[in-house]
Structure 1
Amino acid sequence: MTPDELVPHHLSWTDFDAFARGGGGPALVRHLRATERSRRLLLLRGIIDQAAKSPGVSAPLPSPEWAWELLARIQQQAPAAVETILAHPYTGSWAGYTTRLCRQDVTGVCPFWVHLGHVHCLAAAAAVRAGARFEAELPIWQGTVSLPTLGMVRLRTGEPFGVARMSAGDDGFVVRNRHTEVRLPDDLSVETAGWQPVRRITSWHGDRRLSIRLDDLDPYRGLYEPILPKRLTALEVESWRTVVDDAWHLLATHLPDVAEALPAGLESLVPAPAVAFRLPSASTGEAFGSAIVAYSGDSEQLAAALVHEFQHIRLGGVQHLATLHTDDPRERLYVPWRDDPRPIGGVLHGIYAFFGVTGFWRALAAAEPDNTLASFEFALWRSASWRTLRAVRQDESLTDTGRRFLDGIATELAPWQEEPVAAGPAAWAGTSALDHYATWRLRHLRPDAGTVSALAEAWRHGDSWPKLGKLPESRTPTPVPDGSWTDARTDLIRLRLGRDGSTALAEHGPRVPGATEADLALLGGAIESAVEGYRHLLVANPGGPTAIVGLGLALAARGTGPAARALLHRPELVRAVHRVLRASAGVTPDVETVAGWIGRFTH
C-alpha cells in the first residue's frame, strides 16, 4: 500500500454514539483494535529510529533494526503471527514505556538496553509462532527471557542482566547462555524444566466463548512499569478457572450484548493477590485488551470487575481517536469511587466504567429480586455515576465531543434512577454514599480560614453566631489528604447484605480492615452503642475522619439533628473550628457539641 492509499482511522458518529450508550458490539471493538495496531507500529518504528541516532545504545544486543527486519520477514511468511504480537496488550505497554524513556533520556527499571532489547523478544515470539528458522539475541532479566504471548525461559545466571542466544532449526527452539541451555517443548503449552508457558482460561456458556490468557509472566504486564514474573501455583490457576467460568456464566446470562463484545476486547488477565473483602482492578490505555484483577472467589464481583475494565479498555481505544477534554491535569473533582480528587480525564473514565458496572448489577437485581446485595450495588452505582455525570456535564475542560459522550451515557443512565429498589438496600446505598462524601470532604477540603476564626471567636465569647451570613463553601480541594481513609463501613454493609448476612457480619466483620467496634455496632443496628463508641474514639483522636463521620451517621440513624447535619455535610468546618478551640486555653468542648452549634446554622 502506498502512502497515497493509506486511510486514516476514524470513528463515525453512529459508532461513537452507540459506544457512549454502552453498545457498538464486537465490530466496534475490532475497529479500535485496528487503530491500536497502527499506533503501536508507529511507536515501534519511532523507537527504532530514535535508537539509530545513538548506535551504541543497544549494546550488548544487536541494533533494534535487526528485530524490525525479522518481523518484516515473518510478516511475509505468516502475517497472523505478527498480528498476534502487535495485538498483544503488553506490546503496547512496552512501546509506551520505552518511548517515554527515549524522550526523557532516562534509564527505567532496567538498564535502557534491556528495555530497548525487548523488541528482539517480540520478533522472536513472532518467529516462533510462525515456525520460522532464525537466530536471535535476547535480554535476560533476573534469569528470565520473555517470549511475549508464549511464555518465559528461565536460565541460570550470575548477574541481574545479560544476553541469551536463541536459535530455531531442525532441533527445534533452543535458548542458551554461558550457564544453561533450554530446549522448548514441541507443545509450548506444556511446562518443562526451564520453560513456563502462559496459561489460558477458556469458558463456555452455550455458544458464547471467552478465551483469555492468565498472564503472570510478561515483564510489561504491570500498570506503570515493568515487573518480574510472579508464577501462580497449579491450584491457584484452577481457582481462577472456576471463578472466571462462573463470572462468564453471569455475564452471558444477564448481559448478553456485553458478553458478545467483551471477548473481542479482553484477551489477557493479570492476576493480582487477593485483597480482603474487596476486589480491586486496574487497566491502562496503553495495554488495550488487558486487565489487572485481584483474585476473589466471588463470581458476581468478578463479573462486575470484568465489565468495569472492559469499559476502561474501550474508552481508552476511543480516546486515541476522539478528544473528549482539553489537557487539564488538575486534581479538583470529587468522584464517589475514589478517595482523592480526580482530573477530568479520570472522572470521564470512572463515569463510563461505573455506568457499565451499574448495568450489570441492574440486570442481576432484576433477575434475582431476593439478591439484596445486587440491589444495593445497583442503587449505589447508579446514583454515583449519575451524580458525577451531572456535576461535570458543563465542565470547562470538556470538548463538544466530550459533552456528546456524556449525553449518550445519560440517555441510558437517567431512566435507571427512577427504577424501584427495595427500601433496605436503597437506604444502605444512601448511607454508603453519604459516608464516602463526608469522609472525602473531611480529608480534602480546607474551610475558609476567616470563617473558622470567626466561629471560634464567637464560641469563646458565648455568642449565638457570628455575623457571617451564609457560610461560604470550602475552597478547591487539595490532593493532600488530612487524615486516614477506610471503606470499612461499606465493606460491612456488603457483608450484611450478602449471603447469610447476619452470620457473615458477626463472624467476619471484626476482620474487615479498618473496622471499629463502633462500626460493627452501627451495622448491627445497635445505634446507641455506636454513638458511644464513636464518642470514645473522638476523645482519643478528635480529628479522626472515621470517627467524626461515623458519629454523624450514628446520630442521623437516631433522627435528624444539627450535630448529625454538620458532621455529615460540613465535617471539615467542624473539625477546623474544634482544632482552633483545642489550641486555646480553657475547657475544650467535645466535637459533637461544636457540631451541634454549627449545625443549627447549616442546611
Structure 2
Amino acid sequence: MTTAPLTEAEFAELARTGPAVVGMSALHAGLRGRRQLLLKALLIRVQRERDQIDPGAVRGFDDAWRLLERAERAHPVVVRDVLDYPTTGAWLAAALGAATGAELGRRLGRFESIAVTAALRAGCALDLRVLAPQGVLSLAGVGRFRIGAERARIRSRARVAWIAPDGARTAHGALLLAHPGTGRLAGLGPTWSGLRVLPGATALLDDLDPYRVPPGGIGAPPRTATDRAVTDAQAWTRHWRGAQQLLVRVDPVRAAEVRRTVRAVVPLSAGGPPAVPMSATLRAAPGAVLASMPTSARTMAETLVHEIHHSKLAALHELVPLHRSGRAAVHRVGWRSDPRPVAGVLQGAYAHLALTDLWWRAVESDGAPRAWRARAGQRFERFHVQVGGALEILLESDELTIAGREFVNQMRRHHASLGGVRRSL
C-alpha cells in the first residue's frame, strides 16, 4: 500500500532501482514542495525572532523576499529552478539550524544573493545593493564575482546587468542574459568566474558555491571542497564524458536518469594519507554528488549510479515514510565496518542493489570494456551476497512502515531476479 502521488507500479519500479520517469517526477515535485515549506518556515522564524537579529540583516531578508516574489511573478519557472538548486537546500538547512542572533543574521545574508540570482534570470530591472561576504557575490548555480567590497551594487536593464563594488563609479563586470527565454546567465569581466557545464548534460561542476560542502568538511578523514584554483576541470570533464559513454553502452536508460537527476558535481579534496576516493550526497541538497577525483570513467559511472540512489531514497522517504525513527538498534552489513541503524542499512542496500544491477548489465553487455566486465563480475558476486544479507535484516526488523516493508519486498524480488544470472556468470 502506497500513498498518492505515486501509483503502486511507480513505487515498485523505484524499489527495483528502475528510473521511473513518472515516479521521479513525483519525487521532484515532493522535494520542491518541501523546499517551499522550509523557506516559509524560515520566514516565520525571522518574523518571530527579528528583535534578536541585526536590523540590517532583517531588512536585507525582507527586501530579498519581496524581490523573490517579484521575480516569481515575472518568470516562475526560473525562480523554481533557482530554489531547486542543491546549494539552496544546503543554505536553508544551515539557516534553519543556526543559533538565534548573530549566527542566524549571518546566514540570512545568503538569501539576498539567491533572490538576486532569481531576479536576474527572470529579467527583472534592478538597481539595488546587496551583501558580498568576504568581497564575493555568489550567484547560486551560475558563478561568482570577486567584488573586493562587503557590498555590491547591481543595475540591470534589458539583458545586461552591471555589478560593481558599492560606491564605485565603474562596474567590474557584466552579466549577460543571453537566453531570456530560459533565464540562463553568462558573465563577463576579469572578476567573474562561471560554473562549468559538464558535457552532454545540464549538470554543473560546482567548485565555487560557499554552501556546496558543510563547514568542517564531510566524511572521515574530513574532505573539504576544492576551490576553482585547484580544480582539475579537464580531468573531471574527461571522467564525466567517459562515464556517460559507458552508461549509454551498458544501460542507456540509466544514463538518461543520471543526466536528469544530477544537477551538480562537487569536487572534494583528496584527504589525508592514505587517500581513499570517497563520494557522498547530502539530504538537504539532493541532486548534488560530492566526490573526490575518480580514478577512471568506470569509477565515475559507478559513483554516479550509487549516489543518485541515495538521493532517490531520501526523497521517497520524505514523500512516503519507509521507516520509523528513534530506535537505537544497529546492525552489521557487509560493506561497512561500523554498525548501522535501519535507516543506514536501507540506504546502503538500495544504493548497492542499484550497483549490482549495473554490474550485471556490464557483464551481459557486449558494449562494456573487457576489463570492466571482469571486475563487474567480481563485484557483483560479492555485493549480491551482502545486499541479500541486508535485505534479511530489514525484513526481520519492526522499524519499517507498511510502505517500507512493501518497498523492501520489491527490492528482494529484484535482487532474486539478479541471483539467477549470478549463478550463470
TM range, smaller chain = 0.7 to 0.9
Give the Cα–Cα distance (whole angstroms) in 2 for the partners of residues 224 and 17 of structure 1: 37
Residue identity opposite 2:173 in structure 1: R
1:65 corresponds to which letter in structure 2?
D
Query: 2:75 — aligned with what?
Result: 78
Equivalent position SS for 1:325: coil
- For residues 92-171 of structure 1, what are the structure 2 equivalents within 5 Å? 92-101=89-98, 105=100, 111-157=103-149, 162-169=150-157
1:316 deviation in Å?
1.2
Contact 1:219 1:229 in 2 (8 A): no
Q: Per-residue CA shift, 1:375-419, capped at 9, x if unaligned?
A: 111112211111111122120211121111110111111232343
Aligned to 2:49, the other structure's residue is in SS state coil
- 1:197 alignment partner, one of 194, 198, 203: 194
TM-score, normalised to structure 2's length?
Answer: 0.86
Deviation of 1:311 after TM superposition, in Å, equals 0.5
Gaps of 5+ in 1: 1-7, 204-209, 424-603
**How many angstroms does 1:356 deviate by?**
0.7
Structure 1 residues 85 and 282: alpha-carbon distance in aligned structure 2, compared to 1, 3 A threshold: same
Q: Is the 8 A contact 1:279 1:301 kept in 2?
A: no
Q: Does 1:52 align with 2:72?
A: no
* CA spacing shift, 1:96–1:235, aligned 2, 3 Å: closer
The amino acid of 2:139's aligned partner reads L
Q: Is the 8 A contact 1:29 1:264 kept in 2?
A: no
Question: Which residue in the other structure is 2:210 paired with?
Answer: 219
8 Å contact kept, 1:282–1:309: yes
| TM-superposed deviation, 1:172 | 2.6
Q: Decide which moves more: 246-255 or 26-35.
A: 26-35
Mapped contact 1:323–1:399 kept (Cα < 8 A): yes
Deviation string for 1:287-320 (max 9, x for gaps)?
Answer: 1211101112411111011000111111111111
**Amino acid of the residue matched to residue 88 of structure 1?**
Y
CA gap of 1:334–1:177, structure 2 versus 1, over 3 A, is farther
Identity %: 25
- Residues of 2 paired with 1:34 and 1:225: CA distance? 31
Deviation at 1:166, TM superposition (A): 2.8
d(CA) in 2 for partners of 1:32, 1:326: 20
Shift of 1:138: 3.1
Give the structure, 1 or 2, with the largest relative contact order (CA under 8 Å, sep 6 or more): 2
**Structure 2: which amino acid aligns with 1:124?**
V
Question: Residue 77 of structure 2 aligns to a residue in which SS?
Answer: helix
Deviation at 1:229, TM superposition (A): 7.2
Q: Could you tell me which residue of structure 2 aligns to residue 39 of structure 1? A: 34
Could you tell me which residue of structure 2 aligns to residue 270 of structure 1?
A: 266
**Equivalent residue, structure 2, for 1:401:** 403
Structure 2 unaligned segments of length 5 or more: list them.
179-184, 219-223
Q: 7, 11, 18: which one pairs with 2:6?
A: 11
- Matched residue, 2:291: 293
* C-alpha contact (below 8 Å) 1:134/1:169 kept by paired residues: yes
For residues 185 and 165 of structure 1, do their structure 2 counterparts lie closer, same or farther at Cα, with a shift above 3 Å needed? closer
Structure 1 residues 223, 362: closer, same or farther in 2, change over 3 A?
A: farther
Indicate the residue corresponding to 2:390 in structure 1.
Answer: 388
Give the aligned partner of residue 531 of structure 1: none
8 A Cα contact 1:32 1:318, kept in partner = yes
Cα distance change on mapping 1:136 and 1:43 into 2, 3 Å: farther
Matches within 5 A, 1:204-353: 210-223=201-214, 230-232=226-228, 236-274=232-270, 278-328=276-326, 330=328, 332-353=330-351
* Amino acid across the alignment from 2:360: R
| Equivalence for 1:22 | 17
- The answer as to whether partners of 1:25 and 1:257 remain within 8 angstroms in 2 is no
Go from structure 1 to structure 2 and tell me whether the alpha carbon gap of 1:37 and 1:9 turns closer, same or farther (over 3 Å shift).
farther
When residues 172 and 24 of structure 1 are mapped into structure 2, their CA distance, relative to the original with a 3 A threshold, is closer
Deviations 1:247-306 (A, max 9, x none): 011112212222232322211111123477753110022212111011124111110110
Give the match for residue 518 of structure 1: none
Letter in 2 for 1:243: H
Please identify the structure whose Cα radius of gyration is greater: 1
Cross-structure match for 1:437: none
The two structures, once aligned, show a CA RMSD in angstroms of 2.8
The 3-state SS of whatever aligns with 1:142 is helix
Is 1:372 the equivalent of 2:360?
no
Name the CA distance, whole Å, in 2 between partners of 1:94 and 1:234. 24
Which residue identity lines up with residue 45 of structure 2 in the other structure? Q
Deviation at 1:183, TM superposition (A): 2.2
Cα shift at 1:226:
8.8
Alpha-carbon deviation of 1:63?
A: 4.1
State the number of aligned residues.
Answer: 401
Deviation, 1:19, is 0.8
* 1:164 aligned partner, one-letter code: A
**Aligned partners of 1:265 and 1:289 also within 8 Å:** yes
Query: Within 2, Cα distance between the matches of 1:249 and 1:76?
Result: 40
Query: Which amino acid is the alignment partner of residue 319 of structure 1?
Result: H
Letter in 1 for 2:112: H
Give the direction of change, closer, same or farther, for the CA distance of 1:175–1:254 in structure 2 (3 Å limit).
same
Tell me which residue corresponds to 2:164. 175
Q: Is the 8 A contact 1:274 1:296 kept in 2?
A: no
1:196 aligns to what SS in structure 2?
strand
